[in-house]
Copies of this chain bind each other. A is one copy, B any other.
Protein backbone atom coordinates (compact mmCIF):
# COMPACT_ATOMS: atom_id res chain seq x y z
CA UNK A 1 0.00 0.00 0.00
CA UNK A 2 1.48 3.31 -1.08
CA UNK A 3 0.44 6.88 -0.38
CA UNK A 4 -1.80 7.35 -3.41
CA UNK A 5 -3.87 4.34 -2.37
CA UNK A 6 -4.32 5.76 1.11
CA UNK A 7 -5.22 9.09 -0.45
CA UNK A 8 -8.06 7.40 -2.34
CA UNK A 9 -9.21 5.65 0.84
CA UNK A 10 -9.10 9.03 2.58
CA UNK A 11 -11.54 10.48 0.10
CA UNK A 12 -13.91 7.51 0.35
CA UNK A 13 -13.76 7.72 4.16
CA UNK A 14 -15.62 11.02 3.75
CA UNK A 15 -18.19 10.05 1.11
CA UNK A 16 -18.80 7.53 -1.71
CA UNK A 17 -17.29 8.72 -4.99
CA UNK A 18 -16.60 7.68 -8.58
CA UNK A 19 -13.07 7.40 -9.92
CA UNK A 20 -13.62 10.59 -11.85
CA UNK A 21 -14.70 12.41 -8.69
CA UNK A 22 -11.59 11.24 -6.84
CA UNK A 23 -9.34 12.49 -9.60
CA UNK A 24 -11.05 15.89 -9.55
CA UNK A 25 -10.75 16.17 -5.79
CA UNK A 26 -7.09 15.18 -5.71
CA UNK A 27 -6.04 17.36 -8.64
CA UNK A 28 -8.23 20.37 -7.98
CA UNK A 29 -10.11 20.56 -4.72
CA UNK A 30 -7.36 19.02 -2.60
CA UNK A 31 -4.77 20.30 -5.00
CA UNK A 32 -2.35 21.25 -2.24
CA UNK A 33 -1.83 17.63 -1.44
CA UNK A 34 -1.34 15.19 -4.29
CA UNK A 35 -1.84 14.53 -8.00
CA UNK A 36 -3.08 11.55 -10.01
CA UNK A 37 -3.49 10.62 -13.68
CA UNK A 38 -6.02 8.27 -15.29
CA UNK A 39 -3.43 5.64 -15.84
CA UNK A 40 -2.67 5.36 -12.17
CA UNK A 41 -6.21 5.85 -10.97
CA UNK A 42 -8.13 3.02 -12.60
CA UNK A 43 -5.65 0.17 -12.02
CA UNK A 44 -5.24 1.31 -8.39
CA UNK A 45 -9.01 1.35 -7.88
CA UNK A 46 -9.05 -2.20 -9.19
CA UNK A 47 -6.34 -3.21 -6.72
CA UNK A 48 -8.17 -1.65 -3.79
CA UNK A 49 -11.38 -3.42 -4.78
CA UNK A 50 -9.59 -6.76 -5.11
CA UNK A 51 -8.07 -6.26 -1.65
CA UNK A 52 -11.61 -5.57 -0.31
CA UNK A 53 -10.73 -2.11 1.01
CA UNK A 54 -13.33 -0.52 -1.27
CA UNK A 55 -16.44 -1.87 -3.01
CA UNK A 56 -18.79 -0.87 -5.80
CA UNK A 57 -21.84 0.80 -4.29
CA UNK A 58 -23.81 1.76 -7.38
CA UNK A 59 -23.61 2.51 -11.08
CA UNK A 60 -25.25 5.81 -11.91
CA UNK A 61 -26.44 6.62 -15.41
CA UNK A 62 -27.40 10.22 -16.14
CA UNK A 63 -28.91 10.37 -19.62
CA UNK A 64 -26.40 10.35 -22.46
CA UNK A 65 -23.39 10.46 -20.13
CA UNK A 66 -21.02 7.54 -19.46
CA UNK A 67 -22.00 5.41 -16.47
CA UNK A 68 -20.47 6.46 -13.14
CA UNK A 69 -19.08 3.65 -10.97
CA UNK A 70 -19.59 4.82 -7.39
CA UNK A 71 -17.26 3.26 -4.82
CA UNK A 72 -17.51 3.19 -1.04
CA UNK A 73 -14.98 2.28 1.64
CA UNK A 74 -15.38 -1.04 3.50
CA UNK A 75 -14.89 -1.64 7.23
CA UNK A 76 -11.58 -3.32 6.43
CA UNK A 77 -10.55 -0.29 4.38
CA UNK A 78 -11.40 2.14 7.16
CA UNK A 79 -9.47 -0.02 9.63
CA UNK A 80 -6.44 -0.08 7.32
CA UNK A 81 -6.62 3.69 6.91
CA UNK A 82 -6.83 4.34 10.66
CA UNK A 83 -3.83 2.11 11.28
CA UNK A 84 -1.83 3.99 8.70
CA UNK A 85 -2.57 7.49 9.96
CA UNK A 86 -1.55 6.54 13.50
CA UNK A 87 1.85 5.21 12.31
CA UNK A 88 4.78 7.68 12.33
CA UNK A 89 5.89 9.38 9.07
CA UNK A 90 9.33 10.44 7.98
CA UNK A 91 9.72 13.96 6.62
CA UNK A 92 9.74 13.58 2.84
CA UNK A 93 12.45 15.04 0.62
CA UNK A 94 11.05 18.10 -1.10
CA UNK A 95 11.86 17.90 -4.78
CA UNK A 96 11.43 21.39 -6.11
CA UNK A 97 12.87 22.20 -9.52
CA UNK A 98 13.25 25.86 -8.61
CA UNK A 99 15.59 24.97 -5.74
CA UNK A 100 17.95 23.28 -8.19
CA UNK A 101 17.94 26.43 -10.32
CA UNK A 102 18.53 28.49 -7.22
CA UNK A 103 21.60 26.36 -6.54
CA UNK A 104 23.00 27.92 -9.72
CA UNK A 105 22.01 31.51 -9.02
CA UNK A 106 25.68 32.48 -8.70
CA UNK A 107 26.00 31.86 -12.47
CA UNK A 108 23.33 34.46 -13.22
CA UNK A 109 23.54 38.25 -13.38
CA UNK A 110 21.99 39.72 -10.19
CA UNK A 111 19.57 41.83 -12.24
CA UNK A 112 18.12 38.71 -13.87
CA UNK A 113 17.95 36.96 -10.53
CA UNK A 114 15.99 39.84 -9.03
CA UNK A 115 13.41 39.48 -11.80
CA UNK A 116 13.18 35.73 -11.30
CA UNK A 117 12.60 36.24 -7.59
CA UNK A 118 9.84 38.75 -8.23
CA UNK A 119 8.16 36.27 -10.59
CA UNK A 120 8.53 33.52 -8.07
CA UNK A 121 6.94 35.63 -5.38
CA UNK A 122 3.98 36.31 -7.64
CA UNK A 123 3.49 32.57 -8.18
CA UNK A 124 3.37 31.86 -4.49
CA UNK A 125 1.12 34.83 -3.86
CA UNK A 126 -1.34 33.37 -6.36
CA UNK A 127 -1.35 30.05 -4.54
CA UNK A 128 -1.80 31.84 -1.23
CA UNK A 129 -4.85 33.68 -2.57
CA UNK A 130 -6.27 30.43 -3.91
CA UNK A 131 -5.96 28.78 -0.50
CA UNK A 132 -7.32 31.86 1.26
CA UNK A 133 -10.40 31.76 -0.95
CA UNK A 134 -10.96 28.08 -0.23
CA UNK A 135 -10.61 28.88 3.45
CA UNK A 136 -13.30 31.56 3.19
CA UNK A 137 -15.65 29.01 1.65
CA UNK A 138 -15.06 26.64 4.54
CA UNK A 139 -15.42 29.31 7.23
CA UNK A 140 -19.09 29.96 6.45
CA UNK A 141 -20.09 26.29 6.84
CA UNK A 142 -21.88 25.45 10.12
CA UNK A 143 -19.50 22.61 11.09
CA UNK A 144 -16.50 24.95 10.85
CA UNK A 145 -14.49 24.80 14.07
CA UNK A 146 -15.70 21.35 15.10
CA UNK A 147 -12.54 19.25 15.30
CA UNK A 148 -14.39 15.99 14.65
CA UNK A 149 -15.55 16.87 11.12
CA UNK A 150 -13.63 16.36 7.85
CA UNK A 151 -13.85 20.11 7.33
CA UNK A 152 -11.47 20.65 10.22
CA UNK A 153 -8.82 18.48 8.57
CA UNK A 154 -9.23 20.23 5.24
CA UNK A 155 -8.82 23.60 6.94
CA UNK A 156 -5.72 22.31 8.75
CA UNK A 157 -4.08 21.44 5.42
CA UNK A 158 -4.97 24.82 3.99
CA UNK A 159 -3.44 26.51 7.03
CA UNK A 160 -0.24 24.52 6.64
CA UNK A 161 0.06 25.36 2.97
CA UNK A 162 -0.74 29.03 3.56
CA UNK A 163 2.12 29.16 6.05
CA UNK A 164 4.38 27.61 3.43
CA UNK A 165 3.41 30.14 0.77
CA UNK A 166 3.88 33.05 3.17
CA UNK A 167 7.34 31.90 4.20
CA UNK A 168 8.30 31.43 0.55
CA UNK A 169 7.14 34.96 -0.27
CA UNK A 170 9.04 36.38 2.68
CA UNK A 171 12.17 34.61 1.50
CA UNK A 172 11.74 36.05 -2.01
CA UNK A 173 11.56 39.53 -0.50
CA UNK A 174 14.63 39.04 1.63
CA UNK A 175 16.67 37.58 -1.22
CA UNK A 176 15.58 40.36 -3.53
CA UNK A 177 16.62 43.03 -1.04
CA UNK A 178 19.96 41.34 -0.47
CA UNK A 179 20.73 41.30 -4.18
CA UNK A 180 19.48 44.84 -4.67
CA UNK A 181 21.64 46.05 -1.79
CA UNK A 182 24.66 44.37 -3.30
CA UNK A 183 23.97 46.02 -6.66
CA UNK A 184 23.53 49.48 -5.12
CA UNK A 185 26.82 49.21 -3.32
CA UNK A 186 28.54 48.17 -6.52
CA UNK A 187 27.26 51.17 -8.48
CA UNK A 188 28.31 53.46 -5.59
CA UNK A 189 31.86 52.11 -5.65
CA UNK A 190 31.92 52.48 -9.41
CA UNK A 191 31.03 56.18 -9.09
CA UNK A 192 33.86 56.85 -6.64
A interface residues, Cβ below 8 angstroms from B: 3, 6-7, 10, 13, 30-35, 78, 81-82, 84-86, 88-108, 110, 112, 116, 119-120, 123-124, 127, 147-154, 156-157, 159-160, 163-164, 166-168, 170-171, 174-175, 178-179, 182
A147, B110: Cβ atoms under 8 Å? yes
Contact of A3 among B91, B95, B120, B179 (CB under 8 A): B95
B86, A112: Cβ atoms under 8 Å? yes
Top-9 shortest CB links A-B: A167-B167, A163-B167, A85-B101, A105-B153, A89-B98, A106-B153, A85-B104, A33-B99, A147-B182
- Take A99-B157, A175-B156 as given contacts and tell me if A85 and B105 are in contact as well, using a CB distance cutoff of 8 Å: yes
Expressed in whole angstroms, the minimum distance between the Cβ of A22 and any Cβ of chain B is 13
B101, A92: Cβ atoms under 8 Å? no
Q: Which chain B residue lies CB-closest to A95?
A: B34
B88, A119: Cβ atoms under 8 Å? yes
A106, B35: Cβ atoms under 8 Å? no
A168, B160: Cβ atoms under 8 Å? yes
Residues of B within 8 A of A124 (CB): 91
Residues of B within 8 A of A104 (CB): 10, 13, 81-82, 85, 153
Residues of B within 8 A of A163 (CB): 167-168, 170-171
Q: Which of A32, A78, A116, A160 has the most CB of B within 10 A?
A: A160
Expressed in whole angstroms, the minimum distance between the Cβ of A189 and any Cβ of chain B is 14
B160, A3: Cβ atoms under 8 Å? no
Residues of B within 8 A of A93 (CB): 31, 34-35
